[in-house]
Amino acid sequence: MRPFFVVLAGAWAVVACPAASVSAADEPAASVERADPAADSRQMEADLQGLNWGQFRSVVESVPKLKADVDAYGPLGWQYVQKNYATYGWKKNIDRLDEAQRKLLADLIRAAKGLK
The pLDDT value given to residue 75: 85
Q: Report how far residue 73's alpha carbon sits from residue 71's, in angstroms, rounded to the nearest whole number.
A: 5
In the predicted model, what is the mean pLDDT of residues 78-91?
90
The pLDDT value given to residue 40: 85
Answer positive or negative: Cα dihedral of 36, 40, 42, 43: positive
State the amino acid at position 10 in one-letter form.
Answer: G
The answer to whether residues 112 and 85 touch, using CB atoms and an 8 Å cutoff, is: no
**Residues 22-66: tens digit of each pLDDT:** 444 454 444 444 555 556 888 999 999 999 999 999 999 999 999
Query: Is the overall model pTM greater than 0.85, yes or no?
Result: no
Residue-range domain boundaries for the chain: 2-114
